[in-house]
Amino acid sequence: MPSLLYLLSVAAVIVPLQSSRQPIMNKYHNLYGNNMSGHDLTNIFGFGIGVLNFLQQGQHYLNQEVPDMVPQFGAMYDFVVIGAGTAGATIAARLSEIHQVEVLLIEAGTKENFLMDIPLLVHMLQLSNDINWKYQTKSSNKYCLGMEGNRCNWPRGKVMGGSSVLNYMIATRGGAEDYDRWAKMGNEGWAYKDVLKYFKKLETIDIPELQSDTTYHGTKGPLHISYPIFHTPLAKAFLDAGKELGYPLLDYNGKNMIGFSYAQSTLINGTRMSSNRAYLHPARNRRNLHVTRESKVKKILIDRHTNRAIGVEFIKHRRIIRVFASKEIILCAGAIGSPQLLMLSGIGPAKHLSELGINVVRDLPVGENLMDHVAFGDLTWTIDEPVSIRLNDMINPTYPYMKDFLMRQLGPLTVPGACEALAFIDTKHSTKLHGLPDIELLFIGGGLKGEIILPTVMGLNNAIRQMWNKYTTTYGWTILPMLLKPKSRGWIRLLANDINVKPEIVPNYFDNPEDVKTMINGIKAAISVGQTEAMKLYNSRLINDTLPTCKNYKYDSYDYWECAMRTTSLTIYHYSGTCKMGSKEDPTAVVDPRLKVIGVQGLRVADGSIMPEIISAHTNVPIFMIAEKLADMVKEDWGYLNKSDTGRHAKNNRSIATRYKRCNTLYSMRTLWLFIIIVTTSSAHNFLDIVKNYIHSFGKEEKFTSNSKYDFIIVGAGSSGSVLANRLSENKKWKILLLEAGYMPNFLNRIPIFVGYFQLTGYNWGYNVEPQKNACLGMVNRQCSWPRGRGLGGTSILNYMIHTRGNKLDYDKWASLGNVGWSYTDVLPYFKKSERFNIPGFKNSSYHNENGYLYVEHVPYHTKLATAFLNAGQELEYKIVDYNGQDQKGFSYIQVNIGHGKRCTGATAYLEQINRPNLEIITGARVTKILIDADKRAYGVEYIKDTVWKKVTCSKEVLLSAGTIDSAKLLMLSGIGPKEHLEELNIPVIQDSKVGYSMYEHVGFLGLTFMVNQSESLLQNRLVFNPNVFLEYLLYKRGPITIPGGAEALAFISTKYASDKRPDVELLFVSGSLHSDNGQVLKKILRISDDLYDTVYKPIEEQDAWSIWPIVQHPRSVGRLTLQSKDPFKPPKMDPNFFSHSADIEIILEGIKHAINISKTKTFQAYGSRLHDLKIPGCKRFEFASDDYWRCAIKHLPSMMNHEIGTVKMGPQTDTYAVVDPQLRVYGIKALRVVDASIMPMIPNGHVNAGIYMIGEKAADMIKESWKSEW
């Protein structure tokens, strides 16, 4: 470290001279907030003593190093570990706990010393050729444009401790969903519940407020994690800014990630804690642990007869040495070094290796799947006060900072590279505070542009250095927005069959347009932090100099930021994925879930390279976890798991208390008793059966399409798409491909009471309507949510399972519009064909069938309030009816798609267990375009899966079943839509068509709440704290858990505005209200504003109530769907124009009056029912319960029933708004049909999902008829 030693040596001379040129005010104001005037000599004297003290500590530090040794040529060890970085040091230490085995650890670098562990000086370490491999990316014209030669520096540690000696010490684990995703990809044992114990095992948490949280944290591990001892006032302001923006301050390594926090860091006593210090120093006296430093591995030796790794060849002191392993070789050289060594050893892409003259041992995709977290490095704010961290000030011995660190390890030098705090945010769902973030905002308590060393570290070119040089005398702060889940993938290739030739590194930053969009969102989010009052207190001003490469773009435009991010592209040193972990059936995998190289015995890889997907955080702590887990797997495989001194696992006969703790890592305390029941009673078998059956119940699911051609391609596995896939695959001669953007929902999705929760997950596309003028006034930003299902089953995995067909006249009106074959008489057979009807009182009806796929039942349980609703209807002289039978008008319990107490979706009904070889289902496949040839014939689709773009073709038809929103969107993206609109977006027009028009939705009113005196409603806490409720469900599939989110009954009625015999209002009865879950779910999924909820509903939390939602059945207001851009990853613009026709409000108002009359019946008065009368903010000027009050309230709290229809309207050729004909064929395009709710020409009464199943069944028959010659 000569450069760093030199810098510190001359700091006492040079820096005071530089400081003398600064204004006096700056000299005597400092980060400690007091006046230092007159203390110059005292500080210099203290600095001198501190240097002596530091040198003494440094000598003690070197004595802790494991001694170096030179292995004999041909020496045999049990285990040989290559690389003493984060993973290698951990694994060597853990395996050497087994005193019977001999472990050799090979490291190319040298000793770690105490100078390397000064947190603030981390930048300087990258300047050293001795401890940094100094890799660079291949020159590119798409990123790193502001770097010398368009090449980004990629530092990697070449030292004991590896990159844990060079990194910025930030300790983050990632989210639970990251690891659950790994497991879902076929990596058994890598779910969050599996890896959490290793995160806890590795750490000693030194943050006092977190030490009691033993659910998520460990207190006895080798690696110490703490907050930096010192914080600038700017870091506190950053946290305050987060609160101002609505984010929590939280432990991001705990239950949730999204929020703001000081940076948890791998520090001990104010100094860096590397893997070397944490794991190897304590093991230095073990006789069975051998370390050879400055030993560069050339290749792994493999016995070609057995395909077994037997040894390692390396160079030490210019001498070639070979050593052998009797058990295993474990490769821990990192995401660059590990693939390089594998390929040099003959393991890698066969064609690539052969081109370099390397004998191929195993053809594997080594070097592919390269991922990294890239950040944007040009967001710095200047401030007036000298309260930021400037390196010049920090190493100036006339200031107290160097003295304080050298003598006591205190002060700003304990802050890793000035990285003081961070935030994890979800830019796509700004109000979402759980799940995975997509951007990290890394807060640096200093101005990036004001530092003299960083431009060299970053490799900036001269033009940008000159821009930044003018800020070297300023104070400021910086935010680095970091892309957490990049879609872009790169690769690593060899340039020669020579370990001394660095490999070619192509990260492909921003290759996927989604990455660009997300990063720009991150930039905007960072800028919003600077605009908060907290940061304005320091007069923060964003430096808005235009980068030289981006002068052709307007500053702050989308194009400017895209150019800027491609200019100052900064790696965060999180390279991963190049030796991807996956099942042996995964063609992209290099190692299996036990980290064994596929097809090669005796060889494992354990480092960041095995990550199948990069986690949503800094990777160092996860690599520690990987190493800890690998060590246990190795011990287990060789029978040593319980023989080591410190790695012992708990016995199997754990106490209930231990089970209690482990369950609590996955579920909240308030539901923990449920899992105690599960593990201690026979209900465990029932519960596990639910899980097992759900996971293994679906048919053939492929990762990518096969190379063969398909007969039909179905886009979307929702209600109609699932039907089509089933019915068309009945013909064994036809090959069917079903593409679904989402994945298989988890088993909890089938529990009816949890229906609302899944709208807060990735199973929901998360659409919102455009801000409304006359509606959604009580919702955030005047935007109502339009949830749409993203997973096998589509929106049938999110909806409330209510099964209503509509009125007979609905379909007769369809037919009267020119849609031949769509009258009620025509469609009734398909309603019947779809259903497996099981409602005893209505069975044996000519309107129902018991042999279909789709369960239709009453909910197995009814509250007394639901029964009272029916009795009240009879009191008002309405009948109890089968609304899917002869008469619709009347009262009824809801008919639902529930079978045996579990949700029945399109996928579980039609796809579960059919397992037909001619049906391929691909999940995670997002279709971006329909392929149409010059003859205007659809012949296939383009889709993206796992960042890989694919095109797939079919010989017969493309069937679009993506739903009202996405079917219209895909048609327009493919050139089918309104000519003028498509031309505005530069989309080539193939067919001018009214796609996106005729959009309707059932809308109602949420705000009718009736209080009661008896404890009969569905309060969340009443369910949560009653173990009998869940036990009854687990054992018998009955009880209140079977109620779909509280919806229990409904009535169809006619108001004075009804224009024909059809009811014009539905009254949906809910045995609870918007407050029943204490604002935890309904408020969020409905986007109800804090002001409205806190005013109207928070005061009645924990009180019993029931609700009626009046819903208009034939809305006059019509909306439109358009594209925002031709970017397929951007959601469309959905403007439903709610209440643009005043009749809709008047009809709902009549429904309100009917609902209030129901509350006044003797039946409900027996419960003390009374209308909750706290006024909605915005309507206080009106008398409560007056007509004007209700009109105002309806606009503030409309209910979205998520019944969007009509954007791809069906109609005869004479209908200028028709997009498809009555055979559902797209006008003007051959071999393309649309089969979902978007084709409905008019919205039917009730709920639309039953009608969508009918459409799927009817369409399947029409398609079969079209191709009957092949049937």
Question: Catalytic site residues?
Answer: 574
Angle at 1127 between CA 1121 and CA 1133, to 5 degrees: 20
Q: Residue 106 phi/psi, 5° resolution? A: -105, 125
Q: How far apart are CA 645 and CA 647, in angstroms?
A: 6
**Which amino acid is present at 1233?**
R
Instruction: Compute CA distances 1135 → 378, 597, 772, whole Å.
Output: 37, 53, 8
Burial class (CB in 10 A: 0-12, 13-18, 19+), 1141: middle
Structure tokens at 648: 């012992």
CA distance 312 to 912: 50
Q: Pairing relation of β-strands 603-605 and 319-331?
A: parallel
975: left (phi over 0), alpha (psi -120 to 50) or beta: left
- Retrieve residue 372's tokens: 């990294």
Three-state secondary structure call for residue 1049? strand
Is there a contact between 551 and 463 (Cβ–Cβ < 8 Å)? no
Sign of the C-alpha dihedral computed for residues 676, 677, 682 and 684 taken in this order: negative
Rounded CA-CA distance 965/111 in Å is 60
How far is CA 865 from each of CA 871, 884, 1023, 1167, rounded to the nearest angstrom?
10, 23, 16, 9
| Dihedral angle sign, alpha carbons of residues 1201, 1206, 1210, 1211 | positive
Amino acid (one-letter) located at 615: I
CB 502 within 8 A of CB 135: yes
User: Residues 414, 401: contact at Cβ < 8 Å?
Assistant: no
Query: Cα separations (Å) of 977 from 658, 968, 1186, 1228?
Result: 60, 8, 45, 11
- Name residues whose C-beta falls within 8 Å of residue 183's C-beta, 6 or more positions apart in sequence: 189, 190, 191, 194
392-410 per-residue burial string, b: 16 or more CB within 10 A, e: under 16:
bbbbbbbbbbbbbbbbebb
What distance lies between CA 326 and its chain's CA centroid? Answer: 42
φ, ψ for residue 1099, nearest 5 deg: -65, -20
The one-character DSSP state at 150 is G
Tokens read off for 818: 């020119």
Give the Cβ contact number of residue 981 at 10 Å: 17
Q: Identify whether the C-beta of residue 856 lies closer than 8 Å to the C-beta of residue 1147.
A: no
CA separation, residue 538 to residues 31, 542, 1118, 1127 (Å): 14, 12, 50, 39
List the one residue out of 770, 774, 797, 773 whose CA is nearest residue 786.
770
User: By CB neighbour count within 10 A (0-12 exposed, 13-18 middle, 19+ buried), where does 40 fall?
Assistant: middle
Contact between residue 1001 and residue 787 where contact means Cβ atoms under 8 Å apart: no
Q: How far is CA 691 from the centre of its chain?
A: 22
* Residue 651 neighbours by CB distance under 10 Å: 9
Q: Which residues contact 708 (CB under 8 A, 6 or more apart)?
A: 735
